[in-house]
């Protein structure tokens, strides 16, 4: 949407006709009784202003339900309304449509988004208002509907992005929140699940990263249109209006299920929020309004399943130069509050308005700058260049450019009125752990390893900034090796099986180590293996103790822990999870038939049933790693002597490749890792030496080579799970039960092994 400050008022003709309903009159009226007309719908009679048009949507399915004009709409809005892309602004308008026969009589008002929703048996009402919410109250009262209660937006995930995974939901909180409700409503079933309370996790922030062209629309198209445009159009991203007091179009299609369906198809999103506008004179208290708008936007983002760290773009339309101060104050407050709530900030505006104002003050320190800028400059150029930017402003994948607008295009017979965008968005999403491991490291963070000591307590060895290692006794009583994840740069979660074979969790936040918590609701577990998304979602897996199935627990910010969930399968090894950059989780295990098996939770999908990948007979448990391309590689010890390393390559959209012999002579599990952008396998030889095989730029594999001075391995080695850019830190236990480590850096090669001491 790209419009001038004069746009609104010609579109929205604000009538102040008199009306008397239940003894009340419209403001400014002395003769209210003559200004109403009766509207009947499904057994209810509403008294509405006589000047408002009444439109039957059943007879006009393509009618654009506009909230910027006084009107009453009867019936269900069409799935593909013919709305101009440039609409913005709201006034008093009402949609009355069919609802559940058993609906209760209730009404709620959101004073930030200026919207009222109401229900009664057989009907559902959505109404917007500008300056006169009482007008809507009177219309509802005339039909016997409940008076609205005020509900101020309060995001479920209050607190910073550094919040510990366990701190948002106490132990024993098995609620899956809105995600579970969405799953039940959509009819999705976990084919192998014994506990359907585990819903979809929030979408990863990567669903908003894209380079290429996209489009934005006033009203979200139907899923059918989106499928057609995905197949036939050149677009890969879609702008959607998730909320705001000046969102002008009905959003009949925009539901959590719709968002997930498009994400699963491959669409990337530009979530926009159209709140109070400087050009409309609505910024009366910019700083506090910015906070309120951010809270409302996060509430809506959470409802749609858009997880933390994703950017939300504020639509601030063009305004007069005199309004720059109020606009900048508002947008600074918007960005600050989004950051507090764990989300990133974006701003959409015209090149000669908020974009130029923000660029001019980028380095002044007076205002908090958004993470991304969305520039409306209709010059037809498919790039993100604009002369208002100075060097270094929003560089590195933080720009969008709306290069054309109000364009009608048709693909596959489906026509939309759109604005056209070019995206160069690759906002970094630090945190998360894509590969289960007892050790963790991340870009800019020192490696740490967690292990069960000979005293069965939880111990940590962490590398200091000076390169020394520090040991910490974390207590507890372990009965299996722990698994650790980086939730974000400030938070580490460690999971372990404790006394009674129940799941325990220990968190380290910016304020230090927190008290250990037990998750007894998960029942008795096998050895846990965990992965985490950068948005705070944590998945923990284990083999059943009373069956041979794979089991799953999930933590979602704002909803807490849910599970246990039975994923099925017949396991002859512990399950091993990896997570791709797109948020897909794949779980691997050796089946009782000796084959390689997996279950998959793709983006916005339920868990698949167990899949037999074959690969002959596995000698040991599989280990896997995810590459930046989306490929997942799985490695295992061969079944026959001499035991070589074997692998399978799983590329998106292709059949599995394998089994492939990778060479080496191995004793125990191989450990794959990605470091400095390259794939590598470390393993223990039968003689107790540490070996390494690196993948070549050509795609092949180098000859196995011994790591200098790394000898006396009693156990198979493992590496700290990393972001792929960190140095490779490998650990093992020596024949004397001591913990050792060695580091690989690029350049620099293998460093001298270090005896960390301790007893394992």
Per-residue model confidence as pLDDT tens digits over 440-482: 986 666 899 999 999 999 999 999 888 899 999 999 999 999 9
> Which pair of structure tokens corresponds to residue 442?
């991340």
pLDDT at 158 over 90: no
Per-residue model confidence as pLDDT tens digits over 6-43: 333 333 332 222 222 223 333 333 334 449 999 999 99
Pair 719, 726: CB distance under 8 Å: no
Per-residue model confidence as pLDDT tens digits over 79-91: 999 999 999 999 9
Which residues, other chains included, contact 107 with Cβ-Cβ below 8 Å and sequence gap of 6+?
Answer: 116, 117, 118, 119, 125, 140, 145, 146, 147, 148, 149
Q: So what's the pLDDT on residue 156?
A: 57
**Confidence band (pLDDT; 50, 70, 90) for 494?**
very high
> Which pair of structure tokens corresponds to residue 111?
């004073």
Residue 323 burial (10 A CB sphere; 0-12, 13-18, 19+): buried
DSSP secondary structure, 636-699, as one string:
EEBSSSS--EEEEEE-TTS--EEEEEEE---SS--EEEEETTEEEEEEE-TTS-EEEEEB-TTS
**What is the Cα–Cα distance from 458 to 481, expressed in whole angstroms?**
9
- Nearest 5°: CA angle at 601, between 596 and 606? 125
Pair 469, 448: CB distance under 8 Å: no
Q: So what's the pLDDT on residue 214?
A: 98
Average pLDDT on 611-631 reads: 93
CB atoms within 10 A of CB 14: 12
Nearest partner of 504 among 447, 558, 441, 452, judged by Cα:
452
**What is the Cα–Cα distance from 613 to 611, expressed in whole angstroms?**
6
pLDDT at 630 over 70: yes
Residue whose token pair is 């792929």: 724
CA-CA distances (angstroms) from residue 715 to 264, 670, 728, 735? 40, 11, 18, 8
**What is the Cα–Cα distance from 620 to 636, expressed in whole angstroms?**
6
Beta-bridge mates of residue 532? 433, 538
Instruction: Point out the least confidently predicted range of 348-357, 382-391, 461-470.
Output: 461-470
3-state helix/strand/coil string of 577-646 = EEECCCCCEEEEEEECCCCEEEEEECCCCCECCCEEEECCCECCCCEEEECCCCCEEEEEEECCCCCCEE
**What is the Cα–Cα distance from 524 to 500, expressed in whole angstroms?**
7
In 298-360, at which residue ranges do the beta strands (DSSP E only) sit?
Answer: 311-315, 344-350
Nearest partner of 155 among 291, 336, 313, 289, judged by Cα:
291
pLDDT at 196 over 70: no
Average pLDDT on 151-180 reads: 45
Q: Which of 192-201, 664-673, 741-750 shows the highest mean pLDDT?
A: 664-673
3-state secondary structure of 226: helix
**What is the Cα–Cα distance from 157 to 719, expressed in whole angstroms?**
33
> Which pair of structure tokens corresponds to residue 496?
């372990």
Pair 586, 600: CB distance under 8 Å: yes
Please report, rounded to a whole number, the percentage of residues in the chain having pLDDT higher than 90: 76
Q: So what's the pLDDT on residue 443?
A: 61
Strand ranges across the sheet with 439-442: 439-442, 445-452, 458-463, 469-475
Higher-confidence residue of 653 and 399: namely 399
Average pLDDT on 611-624 reads: 95
In 412-453, at which residue ranges do the beta strands (DSSP E only) sit?
Answer: 414-425, 439-442, 445-452
pLDDT at 177 over 50: no
Spell out the CATH class of 439-757: mainly beta
**What is the Cα–Cα distance from 697 to 733, expressed in whole angstroms?**
32
Spell out the CATH class of 207-425: alpha beta
pLDDT at 562 over 90: yes
- Radius of gyration (Cα) for the chain, nearest Å? 29
Average pLDDT on 338-352 reads: 96
3-state secondary structure of 496: strand
CA-CA distances (angstroms) from residue 32 to 40, 131, 134, 140, 142? 20, 19, 15, 17, 14
Average pLDDT taken over every residue of the chain: 88
Domain edges within the chain:
8-150, 207-425, 439-757
Q: So what's the pLDDT on residue 240?
A: 97
Q: So what's the pLDDT on residue 593?
A: 96
**What is the Cα–Cα distance from 153 to 299, expressed in whole angstroms?**
6
pLDDT at 759 over 90: no
Q: So what's the pLDDT on residue 33?
A: 43
Q: So what's the pLDDT on residue 182?
A: 31
Q: So what's the pLDDT on residue 157?
A: 44
Q: So what's the pLDDT on residue 176?
A: 31
Q: So what's the pLDDT on residue 353?
A: 97
Q: What is the DSSP letter of 714?
A: S
Instruction: Point out the least confidently predicted range of 34-38, 101-105, 575-579.
Output: 34-38
Q: So what's the pLDDT on residue 490?
A: 80
Higher-confidence residue of 218 and 169: namely 218
Nearest partner of 686 among 661, 711, 707, judged by Cα:
711
Average pLDDT on 338-356 reads: 96
């Amino acid at each position: 949407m790209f419009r001038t400050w004069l746009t609104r008022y010609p579109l929205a003709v604000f009538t102040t006709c008199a009306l008397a309903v239940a003894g009340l009159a419209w403001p400014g009226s002395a003769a209210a009784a003559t200004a109403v007309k009766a509207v009947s719908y499904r057994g209810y009679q509403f008294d509405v202003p006589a000047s408002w048009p009444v439109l039957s949507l059943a007879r006009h399915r393509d009618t654009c339900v506009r909230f910027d004009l006084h009107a009453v709409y009867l019936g269900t809005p069409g799935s593909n309304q013919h709305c101009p892309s440039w609409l913005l602004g709201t006034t008093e308008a009402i949609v009355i449509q069919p609802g559940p026969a058993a609906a209760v009589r209730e009404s709620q008002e959101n004073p930030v988004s200026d919207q009222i929703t109401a229900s009664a048996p057989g009907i559902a009402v959505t109404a917007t208002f500008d300056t006169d919410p009482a007008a809507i109250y009177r219309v509802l009262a005339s039909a016997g509907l409940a008076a609205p209660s005020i509900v101020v937006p309060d995001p479920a995930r209050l607190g910073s992005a550094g919040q510990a995974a366990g701190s948002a939901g106490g132990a024993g909180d098995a609620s899956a929140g809105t995600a579970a409700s969405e799953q039940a409503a959509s009819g999705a079933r976990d084919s192998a699940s014994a506990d359907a309370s585990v819903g979809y996790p929030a979408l990863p922030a990567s669903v908003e990263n894209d380079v290429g062209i996209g489009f934005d629309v006033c009203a979200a198209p139907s899923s059918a249109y989106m499928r057609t445009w995905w197949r036939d159009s050149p677009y890969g991203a879609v702008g959607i209006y998730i909320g705001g007091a000046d969102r002008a179009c009905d959003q009949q299609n925009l539901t959590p299920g719709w968002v997930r369906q498009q994400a699963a198809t491959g669409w990337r999103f530009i979530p926009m929020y159209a709140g109070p506008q400087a050009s409309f004179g609505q910024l009366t208290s910019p700083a506090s309004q910015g906070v309120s708008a951010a809270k409302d936007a996060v509430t809506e983002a959470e409802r749609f399943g858009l997880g933390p760290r994703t950017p939300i773009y504020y639509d601030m339309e063009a305004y007069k130069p005199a309004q720059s101060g109020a606009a900048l104050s508002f947008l600074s407050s918007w960005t600050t509050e989004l950051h507090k709530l764990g989300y990133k900030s974006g701003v959409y505006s015209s090149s000669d308005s908020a974009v130029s104002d923000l660029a001019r003050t980028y380095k002044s320190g007076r205002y908090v700058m958004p993470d991304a800028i969305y520039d409306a400059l209709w010059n037809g150029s498919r790039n993100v260049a604009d002369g208002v930017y100075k060097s270094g402003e929003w560089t590195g994948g933080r720009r969008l450019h709306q290069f054309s607008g109000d364009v009608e295009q048709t693909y596959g017979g489906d026509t939309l009125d759109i604005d056209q965008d070019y995206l160069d968005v690759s906002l970094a999403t630090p945190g998360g752990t894509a590969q289960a491991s007892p050790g963790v490291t991340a870009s800019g963070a020192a490696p740490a390893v967690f292990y069960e000591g000979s005293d069965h307590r939880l111990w940590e060895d962490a590398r200091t900034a000076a390169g020394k290692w520090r040991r910490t006794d974390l207590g507890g009583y372990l009965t299996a090796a722990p698994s650790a994840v980086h939730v974000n740069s400030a938070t580490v979660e460690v999971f372990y099986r404790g006394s009674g074979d129940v799941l325990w969790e220990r968190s380290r936040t910016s304020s230090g180590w927190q008290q250990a918590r037990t998750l007894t609701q998960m029942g008795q577990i096998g050895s846990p293996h965990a992965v985490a998304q950068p948005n705070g979602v944590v998945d923990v897996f284990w083999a059943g103790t009373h069956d041979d199935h794979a089991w799953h627990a999930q933590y979602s910010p704002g909803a807490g822990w849910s599970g246990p969930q039975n994923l099925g399968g017949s396991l002859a090894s512990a399950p091993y999870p990896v997570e791709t950059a797109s948020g897909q989780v794949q779980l691997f295990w050796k089946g009782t038939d000796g084959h390689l098996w997996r279950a998959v939770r793709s983006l916005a999908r339920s868990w698949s049933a167990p899949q037999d990948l074959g690969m002959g007979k596995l000698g040991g448990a599989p280990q896997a790693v995810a590459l930046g391309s989306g490929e997942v590689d799985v490695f295992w010890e061969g079944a026959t002597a001499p035991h070589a390393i074997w692998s399978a390559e799983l590329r998106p959209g292709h059949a599995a490749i394998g089994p492939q012999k990778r060479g080496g002579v191995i004793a125990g599990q191989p450990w794959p890792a990605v470091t400095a952008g390259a794939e590598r396998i470390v393993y223990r030889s039968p003689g107790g030496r540490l070996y390494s095989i690196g993948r070549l730029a050509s795609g092949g594999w180098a000859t196995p080579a011994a790591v200098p001075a790394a000898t006396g391995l009693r156990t198979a080695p493992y590496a700290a799970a990393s972001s792929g850019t960190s140095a490779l830190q490998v650990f093992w236990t020596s024949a004397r039960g001591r913990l050792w480590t060695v580091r690989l850096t690029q350049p620099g090669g293998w460093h001298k092994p270090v005896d960390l001491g301790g007893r394992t």
